[in-house]
Amino acid sequence: MKFLIHTYGCQMNVRDSEAVEAMLLAAGHAKAESEDDAELVIVNSCTVRQKAEEKAVGKTGNLCAAGKLTGLMGCAVKRLGNDVFKRLPKLDFAVGPRAIGLIPKIVADGCFPRLELGEEMMSDALSSHVKGGFQAFVTILVGCDNRCSYCIVPDVRGHEYSRPAREIVAEVRSLVSNGVKEVCLLGQSVLRYGLRNAAWDDADAPSPGGYTEPFPRLLEALASIDGLKRIRFTSAHPKGCTDELVRAYQEFPQVCRHLHLPVQSGSDLILADMGRHYTRAEYLAATAKLRAMDPEFSLTTDVIVGYPGETEEDFEATRSLMDAAGFDNSFIFKYSPRPGTRSAAKPDDVPTAEKERRDQVLLSDQERRGLERNRRLVGTVREVMAEGPSKRNKARWSGRDGGNRIVVWDVAEGEVPASAGSLIKLRIIDAHAQILVGERE
Ligand code: 5AD
Ligand code: SF4
């Protein structure tokens, strides 16, 4: 059967869609060229904000109306429960994020039952990859137990669970033997790896470098894999910014000097209400440690504007924190109450127009800050992993430096461009807020 998967949401969802694609291909199905060509369309949904959920559910409704065989997977399914079939009466099947391993069986059975929303975590779904790329996502931990006041994720992705280190190392080895050069380790809070359930056991060899914390120890084990050029990871909580983590960044050149460290707010009052378990000063201490190690260490973040009770003063505290941390990039979200979360019980009292204004202010601050940060790199030489021709301009190639900054460079006519997945040196000759321009050394 020819299938197509539409993905909304974060990298976790991108990864889940890849796993479903790999499982369906292994079961003998084929990827469709387009929606018209597809016999089965699956929508992988997000529910982190109301708009995100509406987009995915709306798209699914359109597909159902067009008479396609349609499945819905992902976070919105878990939040909506069996109501999903009331919202979408023509939907053929629905599975939550921890039940995606059931999809090949549902498709094979062919009768498309209105499935009870399963909770099975299937190792097939955690470890299936589509062959061919030089980059791969590897799930190291699923779920989250942080319970930030605004966040629906613990309800939809379940409890935190770390995969055994041995399984992850074996998976990465096999990816590398199939041509992968860069892995991105995924989890809601990767620095909590191995803290809730043990990921290492007595049968594992001790850490050669004397690492005692499970996540840095995992980095050490992965850095010993020949042929693996880059290790990235996301997303993180500042509590995990330990000295051992800093040592791992320093010791292993494969570990990219970038951290996506969502701060959410720069106001201590708001941070406490959110249940983030750090203060503004503690957050800044964590970022200062990383920048002391390497001034070009790339820091990116997520911020919520218009959280219940957020005053002008709280907002200004967020603005000043963002300047103090010197974020290379940031993602700004307007607060959206999610049913059942703690903050949803509070009045959503920042007017929409004010949320919009705060959003715009932070975006334009970031534009200026991103440009300033990037300009510092002009004249320096960066190591870039070549990815392929730039989407906008085919005479250019595009890649990323260790800080996850996009770098583009001209490829002269007749010149053989670098192969995708190779590391090359580029001298930076120009900088924009979101892009660097380089030339071959
Ligand atoms: N409203 C707005 N933004 C949210 N995020 C998570 N929950 C909400 C919400 N209820 C943002 C956070 C998180 C990012 C993935 O989405 O900033 O880091
Ligand atoms: Fe990712 Fe959260 Fe959206 Fe789920 S709800 S796809 S975990 S951002």
> Within a domain: residue 322?
no
CATH of the domain at 106: 3.40.50.12160
Distances (CA, A) of 90 to 54, 66, 71, 95, 349: 17, 10, 10, 15, 37
Output the CA 76–ligand 2 centroid distance in Å: 9
Chain center to CA of 306: 23
- pLDDT band, residue 175 (cuts 50/70/90): very high
For 182-213, what is each residue's pLDDT tens digit? 999 999 999 999 999 999 999 999 999 999 99
> Is 77 in the same domain as 160?
no
Number of domains in the chain: 3
> For position 67, what pLDDT does the model report?
87
Range in 53-67, 108-122, 138-152 the model is least confident about: 108-122
> Is 169 in the same domain as 239?
yes
> For position 406, what pLDDT does the model report?
97
Token pair recorded at residue 23? 């499982």
> For position 382, what pLDDT does the model report?
97
Question: Which residues on adjacent β-strands are paired with residue 41?
Answer: 4, 70
Omega of the bond leading into 267 within 30 degrees of 0 (cis): no
Mutate to test the pocket of ligand 1, among 333, 336, 355, 362 (most ligand atoms within 8 A of CB): 333
> Within a domain: residue 93?
yes
> Is 109 in the same domain as 141?
no
> Is 84 in the same domain as 156?
no
Task: Point out the domain boundary residue: 212, 232, 256.
Answer: 256
Output the CA 150–ligand 1 centroid distance in Å: 7
Mutate to test the pocket of ligand 1, among 8, 10, 47, 150 (most ligand atoms within 8 A of CB): 150
Mean pLDDT of 47-68: 96
> Is 42 in the same domain as 76?
yes
pTM of the model: 0.96
Task: Point out the domain boundary residue: 84, 116, 148.
Answer: 116
- pLDDT band, residue 422 (cuts 50/70/90): very high
> For position 331, what pLDDT does the model report?
98
> For position 367, what pLDDT does the model report?
98
User: How far, in Å, CA of 262 to CA of 191, rounded?
Assistant: 13
Report whether residue 75 contacts ligand 2, using a CB cutoff of 6 Å.
yes
Atom number in ligand 2 closest to CA 10:
1
> Is 231 in the same domain as 137?
yes
Tell me the residue range of the domain where 83 lies: 2-116
> Is 83 in the same domain as 151?
no
For 251-278, what is each residue's pLDDT tens digit? 999 999 999 999 999 999 999 999 999 9
Residues with CB under 6 A from ligand 1: 48-49, 150-151, 262, 264, 302, 304, 333, 335-336, 338
> Is 73 in the same domain as 148?
no
> For position 56, what pLDDT does the model report?
98
> Within a domain: residue 67?
yes
> Within a domain: residue 22?
yes
User: How far, in Å, CA of 253 to CA of 251, rounded?
Assistant: 6
Mean pLDDT of 348-359: 98
> Is 106 in the same domain as 146?
no
User: How far, in Å, CA of 365 to CA of 323, rounded?
Assistant: 8
For 312-344, what is each residue's pLDDT tens digit? 999 999 999 999 999 999 999 999 999 999 999
Mean pLDDT of 292-321: 98
Mean pLDDT of 103-128: 82
List CB contacts of 128: < 8 A, sequence separation 6 or more.
18, 19, 22, 23, 26
- pLDDT band, residue 300 (cuts 50/70/90): very high
For 372-420, what is each residue's pLDDT tens digit? 999 999 999 999 999 999 988 888 999 999 999 999 999 888 787 788 9
> Within a domain: residue 392?
yes
> Within a domain: residue 218?
yes
Mutate to test the pocket of ligand 2, among 77, 80, 148, 156 (most ligand atoms within 8 A of CB): 156
> For position 121, what pLDDT does the model report?
62
> Within a domain: residue 319?
no
> For position 156, what pLDDT does the model report?
93
- pLDDT band, residue 243 (cuts 50/70/90): very high
> Is 217 in the same domain as 112?
no
> Within a domain: residue 210?
yes
% residues pLDDT > 90 (the chain): 90
> For position 348, what pLDDT does the model report?
98
CATH of the domain at 198: 3.30.750.210
> For position 117, what pLDDT does the model report?
77
> Is 37 in the same domain as 110?
yes
% residues pLDDT > 70 (the chain): 99
Task: Point out the domain boundary residue: 116, 142, 160.
Answer: 116
CATH of the domain at 402: 2.40.50
Mean pLDDT of 219-227: 98
> For position 68, what pLDDT does the model report?
87
> Is 94 in the same domain as 159?
no
Q: Are 87 and 80 in contact (CB under 8 A)?
A: yes
